[in-house]
Chains A and B, each alone.
Chain A
Amino acid sequence: MISVAIEFIGTLIILTAFEMLGQSYIKPLINTMAFQSVLLAILIAILGFQKGSLELIILAILTLVVRGYIVPHVMKWNIRGNKIWDYREMTTGVPALVITGIFLTVIGYGLYQTAFYPLFKIRGGALPIILLLLGFLLIIARKNALAQMVGYIMEENALLYAGTLLIPLSFILEAGILLDVIGLILLGVILAEEREYGILEIEELRG
């Protein structure tokens, strides 16, 4: 029963990733990221109760607070009152992006089955690998730094998901905390940079 719940939540997480890929408006994108993080926190908490691991429960609370509340809250606070964020960021290419996402899902599943499953023998282990690839896709496909930050959080979620599912040790707790801290610092930097230089879009630095 618990394993079914874990796989169900995992599937929901992947669906939120697809919703984020197709989302052209920044506010709903941030909201979906927050929802995805909450789902991940629930998943980690279930795993924590199942394994009787206090560390995992702490990690779940941390994920809920930092990624589910603080990061989205700070992002939304930053864009408040700025009309530019009410417009679509990406007006073309949504279908292509979603199709690429589906393609990556197949690749991620194949990758897990051939390279990872023989080692881990865990059903549903393909989901974090797929989520990781979708996170990379979001980072690559989006031009503005806030959307890329959302991609980075998705990637972090994937790593935490993979870690909690596959390795029962405190290292993942340390890594999870570090990833959160790094996420917050990066967020702070881009928000400060955007205030200084306007919306930050990665331009090709020549040569």
Chain B
Amino acid sequence: MIGLLWFLVIFPLGGVLFSLLPYPKVKQNSTLVASLITTILSIYIICKVLRGDITDGWMFVDIYSAIIILLISCVYFLSSAYSVYFLKTVKDTFISVDFYYPLLNLFALSMLFTAVSANIGLMWIGLETSTVVSALLIVLEKKKAGAEAAWRYAIIASAGMGIALLSIIIIQFVGKTLIWYNVKLSPFAASVALALALVGFGTKIGLFPMHTWLPDAHGSAPPPISAMLSATLLPVALLTYFRIFLIAIASKAYHVIGLTAFFGAITALVASILIIQQQNFKRMFAYSTMDVMGIAVAGIAFGGKAAEASFLLLIVHAFAKSGLFFSTGNIIAVYKTKKIENVRGLLNSTQLTGITMVLGALAVTGAPPFASFIAELVILSYSFKMPLITAMLAISIFTSFLALNYHVAKMSFGDAKVNKMPVYAELIPFLSVAIALVFSLGVWIYIEVML
């Protein structure tokens, strides 16, 4: 009897196989069906996990991995749905468009495989696979910048994953197992393993100063792939790092808390400053992702409610950022530019896209009523025992809020005479941000009831 968790891998695998068939409609529909079923399954799993962790052989799902699985599944589905429109706008491709859906399914599969694994070695394999698959997806459109971005991403991320492998070698050598919840290390071994993991997996998370691939890859990738990179791949890498962080804490290497919090805070600070000077809106959203990941990393370092707040932040960010990246696809299709200064009057021209942009920007920068506001507040309150970290986080939250919303406001208001979008193309991004909003309202109601 195959356990429930196996289906998280089987359905996307089915999507990969069916989308290899030489019929465009089959490729599209099998991806939609596979992603929808995976989403339904992930909702069922998160409900089940609320009653207790699920273990099945090499697989383990607790509430943290269940959240990440849910995010992967939902964004996988939304990206598949948006791809139906997006592929119609693509004229010239570097890789045959026939490979788009198989690679998309494989990308989701590699991330689900990572999130569901209890074995850190398997998590590393999943993440490394995701690097190659996503690099191929980044070069889909025939552009030299895309090719260079993909190459830079592949080489930097693979180098980072190489360092992460050293961390895993230490864990295996000293701990004698790679099942993360069974690993016990000496504080010294845990410190070395975590330092290497911080650099290695930190590269994939987009932590400063290993982040250089991130704006290039997110900025050059097709919008559905940018959404998956930003909303799911980085959180999956964060989950892997989180597991090693928990090993270090269980091994009494408490000084890793300060180290992790510092790298998280400095990442958020640098990203928020870089948002100010951006001229390309896709790169701007990429830096915003880096900012959010930095805050989330700091949150997991503080543990307890702050770690839970980090995952709350990731949920809101995933849906809102997906909506924003899908919207960039719409904007590029209509305005034929990625430059912020050339886009004006979104709320007049493509109203739903304009609303999505404004709401999405508010959501990712932690404005109320979005739950990201609560999450950032909790993380900030937990950082008070480290005043330097508090200052860095506070400045980054404030700066990114002002900078991102200022840029988006400039794009959204004013007059514009451009062609109308198909409603369908505008609906998917809006739906994505609407999920973030409804979820946030649910969180407020839950807090109201509980308190």
Which residues of A are in contact with B by a Cβ distance under 8 Å? 115-116, 118-120, 132, 136, 139, 145, 148, 152, 155-156, 158-159, 162-163, 166-167, 169, 171-172, 174-175, 178-179, 181-182, 185-186, 189-190, 192-193, 196-197, 200, 202-203, 205-207
Contacts and interface: CB of A to CB of B under 8 A. Distances in A.
Given A162-B169, A171-B172, A205-B216, A115 B147 contact: no
Interface string B103-146: 00000000000000000010011001101100110010010110
A132 B159 CA distance: 9
B178 A203 contact: no
16 contacts: A132-B162, A132-B166, A152-B159, A155-B159, A158-B162, A166-B173, A167-B169, A169-B172, A182-B129, A193-B150, A193-B151, A205-B145, A205-B148, A205-B149, A207-B278, A207-B283
B441 to A, nearest CB: 35
Given A175-B165, A207-B283, A185 B147 contact: no
Q: Which of B131, B162, B163 has the most CB of A within 10 A?
A: B162
Chain B interface extent, by class? 35 or more
Given A189-B135, A202-B151, A205-B220, 13 more contacts: A136-B159, A139-B155, A148-B151, A171-B121, A178-B128, A179-B128, A181-B132, A185-B132, A186-B132, A196-B94, A197-B147, A205-B216, A207-B280
A139 B159 contact: yes
B97 to A, nearest CB: 15
Interface of B: 94, 121, 124-125, 128-129, 131-132, 135-136, 139, 142, 144-145, 147-152, 154-155, 158-159, 162-163, 165-166, 168-170, 172-174, 178, 188-189, 192, 195, 215-216, 219-220, 274, 277-280, 283
A120 B172 CA distance: 11
Contacts of A200: 147-148, 151
Contacts of B145: 205
Contact of B188 (A119, A136, A139, A172): A119
A118 B188 contact: yes
A39 to B, nearest CB: 19
B277 A207 contact: yes
Contacts of A139: 155, 159
B interface majority secondary structure: helix
A118 B188 CA distance: 9
Contacts of B158: 152, 155, 182, 186
Contacts of B195: 115
Nearest to A201: B148
Nearest to B196: A115
A176 to B, nearest CB: 10
A196 B150 contact: no
Given A189-B139, A189-B150, A119 B132 contact: no
A interface majority secondary structure: helix
A116 B192 contact: yes
Contacts of B279: 206-207
B173 A120 contact: yes
A120 B156 CA distance: 28
B101 to A, nearest CB: 18
B162 A119 contact: no
Q: Which of B131, B152, B155 has the most CB of A within 10 A?
A: B155
Nearest to B279: A207
A196 B155 contact: no
Contact of A163 (B142, B169, B178, B278): B169
Nearest to B121: A171
Query: Sorted from nearest, which 7 A-B pairs have the closest CB atoms?
Result: A193-B147, A171-B121, A205-B216, A197-B144, A115-B192, A185-B132, A167-B172
B103 to A, nearest CB: 11
A119 B170 contact: yes
